Structure 1
């Protein structure tokens, strides 16, 4: 019975980390939108936001930590004949890849100290934050489905 409580606490922690990463991604997007910029079609010149850089970096790190915890706790304790846990695991990895990529691209665009011009990276941090939320939900579904099929 104690093992169940530890598992529930651990997955509440994972979902909380994903929610925190998602909120930080959204806050980074808001901080980036406050920076000075001039846009012409897809090309924009903008002043990087150090706050957006810090929040985006923190969101990416927290998303990575949450995923490591999911993989360590979920493990491979499900029956391989069941397709739901495998599907959830693949989707969890997919949401991690998409979210991490968007967060890193958005964070890197705010890493410079000078005004930079190039392709617009407008909503990458916000969308990366959304994928953090999706990752949290799919991680929970992965754990529940793998636990149910292993019993």
Structure 2
């Protein structure tokens, strides 16, 4: 019984810490990228790649993916397949579904921006292109939002599981 009490806050703390680390790494990657010499003419930019920004951006993307994986594995999967399911679902199940959907959207955006920023700073890239301003920092900021949505999903998913087990086994409820 004690194991079940401590696993929830531990998962929430782990997911939030990994997303915070990913966000900080993304912002640090942007700062490292800005320290490299560059020439900008209107919307075109010639910049030498920053290996430090590449490593930090890649590490941020990996932390974000791991946080998402942990949150979804421990939270389970709640899907609403039709309008009828949606109307019959409890508030916790609707919140779990909405949080899951938002966490996937933020993951897709943040991961894409972090990988694009990291690849922009890979060693093989030494050409001029359109300016990629703040890609890594925006990806880092999205990591913070991802942490909020993933924790909201985990908590509401666990509440939904608890609700559904109480509905299936009414004998386990304590008398009032």
Contact between 1:22 and 1:128, CA under 8 Å: does it hold in 2? Answer: yes
- 1:93-125, CA deviations, whole angstroms, 9 ceiling, x for partnerless residues? 001000000001100100034632001112100
What is the CA distance between 1:31 and its match in structure 2? 0.3
Q: Unpaired segments of 5 or more residues in structure 2?
A: 163-176
Q: 2:132 aligns with which of 89, 113, 121?
A: 121
Q: Unpaired segments of 5 or more residues in structure 1?
A: none
Partners of 1:88 and 1:4 in 2: CA distance? 23
Q: Which residue of 1 aligns with 2:159?
A: 148
Q: Which residue of 2 aligns with 1:55?
A: 56
- 1:6-38, CA deviations, whole angstroms, 9 ceiling, x for partnerless residues? 121122011100000000000000000111111
Larger CA deviation: 79-88 vs 11-20: 79-88
What is the CA distance between 1:73 and its match in structure 2? 0.5
What is the CA distance between 1:145 and its match in structure 2? 1.4
What is the TM-score when the length of structure 2 is the normalising length? 0.81
- Residue-pair matches, total: 151
Partners of 1:6 and 1:114 in 2: CA distance? 44
Report the aligned-residue RMSD: 1.6
Q: Based on CA coordinates, which of the two structures has the bigger radius of gyration?
A: 2
What is the TM-score when the length of structure 1 is the normalising length? 0.94
- 1:34-90, CA deviations, whole angstroms, 9 ceiling, x for partnerless residues? 111111121100011110000000000111111110110110268962311101000
Map residues 18-33 of structure 1 onto 2, 5 A cutoff: 18-33=19-34
Q: Secondary structure at the match of 1:17?
A: helix
Map residues 2-151 of structure 1 onto 2, 5 A cutoff: 2-76=3-77, 81=89, 82-113=93-124, 115-151=126-162
Q: Secondary structure at the match of 1:39?
A: strand
Partners of 1:65 and 1:19 in 2: CA distance? 12
Q: Which runs of 4+ in 1 moved over 4 A?
A: 77-80
Partners of 2:4 and 2:25 in 1: CA distance? 31
Contact between 2:49 and 2:123, CA under 8 Å: does it hold in 1? Answer: yes
Q: Secondary structure at the match of 2:132?
A: coil
Partners of 1:150 and 1:41 in 2: CA distance? 55
